[in-house]
Structure 1
Amino acid sequence: MHSFPRWKIWLILTVLVVSLMGSLPNIMSTPSWWPSALSHPMSLGLDLKGGVHLVLDVDVNKAVTHSVEEDVDTARQVLRKEKIRYRKLASEGNTLKITIKEASDLAAAETLLKDTFSNYNLSPAAADNTFVLTLKDSVADETRKFAVDQAIEVIRGRIDALGTTEPVIVKQGDHRILVQIPGYEDSARAKQLIGRTAELQFKLVDEKGDLEKAMAGSIPPGDIIMYGPAKRGANGQLNRQPYLLKKHTELSGSEIADARVSIDSRFNEYAVTLKFNSKGSHRFDKLTAAHVGERFAIILEGVVNSAPVIRERISGGSAQITGSFTPAEAHDLAIILRAGALPAPVQVVEERSIGPSLGQDSIDQGMKSIIIGTLFVLVFMGIYYRMFGMVANVALIFNMLLIIGAMSMIGSTLTLPGMAGIVLTIGMAVDANVLIFERIREELNLGKTPLAAIDGGYDKAFSTIIDANITTLIAAIVLFQFGSGPVKGFAVTLSVGILASMFTAITVTRAIIAVSTEKRARIEKLSI
């Protein structure tokens, strides 16, 4: 004990100062010169701050279907390039069906399809010259997984645009996403903003096709019928304007670089102005140059938003979406178009909204439990272990300070289960000291001198403390890895608390006792 390393004392003092500086932003504003890494208060979770809790189910099979549909265009392009004529190109679920017109082209078509679509299993041509390409199971599974990961990133971009802090957006299972937005109360707007697929397409209107015949069932090859938004007519009934469009998508939302709210000068109403990226600008330039005088449809989420006439070549790489938007609708549409379209539809399967008053009640009750638990522990340790108990109490306060400072610095979110973790950590912190003090008492009962008893108590308790805390830490890591939401909050607090309690129980209390006995040559009795 007389040769306690000085570097350990300096380490303890450094940790104490850093913990104080990291904890201070939780109770007061810090000056401008304060280190940025130590100037962030702990964020409060949904159960303490209130907000919106949603569980979303991603229709991952739609992502697979959409991927196969996109390959129809690829098949069309490669067949035309090689001048192989076909009668039919269609997708159904996870399969592509391609019917070749001339039997003499079957061999060339088979080789071309094998080279182009390596992600598919190609069956031999049937009697009607039809090839069936089935998406490989491994590729389909990867597409489903990627759809969920991509949906998380898109949703995160949309929520970040709301200006909220510390949203929780994590994967649950194979196809569900947990979304928690602390401090946000408008659950209806959150659901609308998150759940919209926001799929944007630009298609040419078939000016030569007969819309009436198409409506009767005679749709020209390569065309589709789509409808505009529902509008109430003079007779009070809702009507939707039909459009005969080319099936091929000329441009999509993936080629949008920016989307901003603007004012349509013609009608003096809110609109959304789109700015294409370099690839989109080039394609839009070619599209407008080649089809001057024709109409092209702007399709948002399967509805024809508008079908303006291309008056002249547009080389600026921008377009505008109108539709009698309110300011909020235009703003939300710009957000989701900037963030990108969801790769598959999502459905809200669970929804909870927690008010800030309930969150404040949780904070008050949680703080009360921490204060009461701490006071009981402090009083018990002071009475039962006397001066050594007071040393343990100093280490316990240091431990609490270290937990708050560490959680603030790592940007952890404090939840109600996290508060429970702090209360549990208080008990675990003094438990280590109890082990040490009982070992010291045993050493004294064996007739050892006070200083030898202190050394023996710490040495013999060390392995027990390490073993107990490491096993608990492993359990906390498992909880963090496989848990979600409140469970992770508890795991984070517990993990930080375990590391802090080992440091304070093994190092801090020993340093205090070492410093207090360093200049005393002989000690007759210990207050323990």
Structure 2
Amino acid sequence: MVQLSRWKVVVVVLSVILGALFAYPNLLSPAQREALPSFVPKNALNLGLDLQGGSYLLLEVDVDEMRQARLDNLVEDVRVSLNEAGVPVARIEREPAGAVARVAPGSQDAAFEALRALGAQPGVVGAAAERSITRVGQDGVRVVFTQQALDQMGPNAVEQSIEVVRRRIDSLGTREPSITRQGANRIVVQAPGESDPEQLERVIGQTAQLTFQMVDDENSVEEAVAGRVPPGSELLYDEFNTPYLVKTRVLVSGENLTRANVDQDQNGRPAIGFRFDGQGARRFAEATRPENRGKLFAIILDGTVISAPRINSPIPNGSGIIEGQFSIAEASEMVNLLNGGALPAPLTVEERRVVTAELGADAVAAGAISVAVGFVIIVAFMILSYGWLFGGVSVLGLLLNGLLIIAAMSLTQATLTLPGIAGLILTFAVAVDANVLIYERMRDEARAGRSVIASMDAGFNRAMGTIIDANLTTLVAALIMFVFGAGPVRGFAWTLTIGVFTSMFSAVLVAQVLLAYWLRATKPKKLPIAE
């Protein structure tokens, strides 16, 4: 096995060149990296929150309020569907999971058929049914969310919130944010390098729920302000505290939004351009049909009326602009929010922390010192145990191992944290452990009277099984931590995983090539580590 094969030499040389190429940007300043040619790698190590500072937020998803809003929408859908079908309604009774519509005698069948248009299923049909519709007595129809739908509202809201938060942070240019779930309904956000936590909190926390609703021109706004809001309507205000009485039924929502961009109105002022998908375009065209010409419809963002334009003609293509008193910065931030998607439920900030750059610098210094101390101890041990030749070969492999880890993490833009540095130190120890196994096997074979070549060959051959087993178990443990862990634990696991592959390469293949060169050049009669 100790052979100077050409492919082994080529692989080692290429690994050194590529490792140096991808690790080199870490020695440059950001300006110098940007000045590099386009074909040269520019990615440096991406430091985590504990190393470069940044913002930490602990958010709680208000699942109860989201469920309440879903139930409110269901009740309103029942009311509107029955009214549009011409079914006389005596009253609508609210229930914990939905509503019961009490209709006039003889109208139960018509009400049942009208409510099926909501997407409800007769009875609970299969596990996928979101709503259940049943008859109640002689005059009632019950529409409720199924138990499975109620149970899934919370987990689904948290998962959707994580994706929306990630898109919003990405729009700020923050690199490699850590966004993880904690418990049943909490989200931990770590944004390394984000120097403005207030902006981060503002962008993350805004629901960005965009809706288009008709203005209620059949009832008096003054009476609504006085506290007499008619059923099926709600009282909202714009940023100038002007009251609007609008229908609670949502004609089109931000869920149908495919694109938002900064545009200009007819006076050249900043505005927000939008385009809906096919379903949204049909609904928008229906809302602006000729029968509604002259009526007002309100554009509402998070419960605040942005504008209430008059319908002059149908808009069949599903695109338009939202006018308002926007600045360029406000319009840009609003576009980022809308393109990022709406949060399914409000987020409450439970904890906020700011890690300053000074603390991060101290952590980097402490991590560097710990790596240096660990490296020196390992080098001293190997030199004292196996001499300058074999110990030196291990040290060279160790240096290449570190170079390859830095190169791989720079290439993949994996986040390096303090636990990741701990994983780096552990990787060095594991790499040296492979050399110890090989050298001790060589020593045993030499003491048994075998030749230098036979001893070295047996050392690599017979130790390989143990080395593979040890690294495989380490890889499995790292995989478990990466899958089930979060934040720093995943950073540790990722560093350890990279280190398993690089240490196998550096401890075995590099040692083979270097010792094969020594064996060919000196042709020793005795193994130096046999004594």
Same fold (TM > 0.5): yes
Q: 1:124 aligns with which of 115, 122, 135?
A: 135
Deviation string, structure 1 residues 386-424 (Cα, Å, up to 9, x no partner)? 111111111111111111122222221111221121122
Structure 2 residue aligned with 1:380: 381
The answer to whether the 8 Å contact 1:225/1:243 transfers is yes
The answer to whether the 8 Å contact 2:43/2:413 transfers is yes
Between the aligned partners of 1:264 and 1:108, the Cα distance in structure 2 is: 47
Structure 2 residue aligned with 1:237: none
Structure 2 residue aligned with 1:188: 198
- SS in structure 2 of the partner of residue 336 of structure 1: helix
2:54 pairs with 1:51: yes
2:453 pairs with 1:448: no
CA RMSD of aligned residues (A): 3.1
Alignment map for 1:184-223 (pairs within 5 Å): 184-215=194-225, 218-223=228-233
Alignment map for 1:143-158 (pairs within 5 Å): 143-158=153-168
The answer to whether the 8 Å contact 1:48/1:416 transfers is yes
Further displaced range: 420-429 or 15-24: 15-24
Between the aligned partners of 2:211 and 2:85, the Cα distance in structure 1 is: 28
Report how far residue 371 of structure 1 moved. 2.4
Between the aligned partners of 2:89 and 2:307, the Cα distance in structure 1 is: 33
Further displaced range: 403-412 or 273-282: 273-282
Report how far residue 352 of structure 1 moved. 1.5
Structure 2 residue aligned with 1:163: 173
Structure 1 residue aligned with 2:125: none
Report how far residue 493 of structure 1 moved. 0.7
Between the aligned partners of 1:110 and 1:308, the Cα distance in structure 2 is: 36
User: What amino acid maps onto 2:154 in structure 1?
Assistant: R
The answer to whether the 8 Å contact 1:97/1:131 transfers is yes
**Percent pairwise identity:** 36
Report how far residue 43 of structure 1 moved. 1.4
Instruction: Structure 2: give runs of 5+ residues left out of the alignment.
Output: 122-129
Report how far residue 114 of structure 1 moved. 6.1
Alignment map for 1:84-483 (pairs within 5 Å): 84-89=87-92, 93-101=96-104, 103-110=105-112, 113=115, 116-118=119-121, 119-126=130-137, 129-215=139-225, 218-229=228-239, 240-261=241-262, 271-277=271-277, 279-281=279-281, 283-288=283-288, 289-310=290-311, 317-323=319-325, 325=326, 327-386=328-387, 387-483=389-485
Structure 2 residue aligned with 1:511: 513
Between the aligned partners of 1:10 and 1:205, the Cα distance in structure 2 is: 74
Alignment length, in residue pairs?
A: 513
Report how far residue 429 of structure 1 moved. 1.4
Structure 1 residue aligned with 2:124: none
Deviation string, structure 1 residues 190-240 (Cα, Å, up to 9, x no partner)? 1011001111222222222133444556544432333344x6xxxxxxxx4
Report how far residue 91 of structure 1 moved. 5.8
User: What amino acid maps onto 2:165 in structure 1?
Assistant: I
The answer to whether the 8 Å contact 1:392/1:509 transfers is yes
Report how far residue 364 of structure 1 moved. 2.3
Distance 1:380 1:282, change over 3 A: same
Between the aligned partners of 1:469 and 1:2, the Cα distance in structure 2 is: 22
Between the aligned partners of 2:159 and 2:301, the Cα distance in structure 1 is: 23
Report how far residue 346 of structure 1 moved. 1.0
Further displaced range: 160-169 or 514-523: 514-523
Between the aligned partners of 1:117 and 1:144, the Cα distance in structure 2 is: 20
Structure 2 residue aligned with 1:234: none
- SS in structure 2 of the partner of residue 26 of structure 1: helix
Between the aligned partners of 2:396 and 2:242, the Cα distance in structure 1 is: 76
- SS in structure 2 of the partner of residue 427 of structure 1: helix
Between the aligned partners of 1:17 and 1:90, the Cα distance in structure 2 is: 74
Q: 2:489 aligns with which of 487, 490, 503?
A: 487
- SS in structure 1 of the partner of residue 219 of structure 2: coil
2:44 pairs with 1:41: yes
Report how far residue 483 of structure 1 moved. 1.4
Distance 1:218 1:402, change over 3 A: closer
Alignment map for 1:77-88 (pairs within 5 Å): 79=82, 84-88=87-91
Structure 2 residue aligned with 1:16: 16
The answer to whether the 8 Å contact 1:281/1:315 transfers is yes
Report how far residue 357 of structure 1 moved. 2.3
- SS in structure 1 of the partner of residue 60 of structure 2: strand
Report how far residue 314 of structure 1 moved. 5.7
Deviation string, structure 1 residues 288-311 (Cα, Å, up to 9, x no partner)? 443333332222211233434445
User: What amino acid maps onto 1:490 in structure 2?
Assistant: F
Between the aligned partners of 1:457 and 1:275, the Cα distance in structure 2 is: 68
Report how far residue 475 of structure 1 moved. 1.6
Deviation string, structure 1 residues 81-128 (Cα, Å, up to 9, x no partner)? 765443445765531322223x3232454466568412223443146x
Further displaced range: 512-521 or 80-89: 80-89
The answer to whether the 8 Å contact 2:265/2:271 transfers is yes
Deviation string, structure 1 residues 373-398 (Cα, Å, up to 9, x no partner)? 22332233223311111111111111
The answer to whether the 8 Å contact 2:60/2:186 transfers is yes
Between the aligned partners of 1:518 and 1:263, the Cα distance in structure 2 is: 76
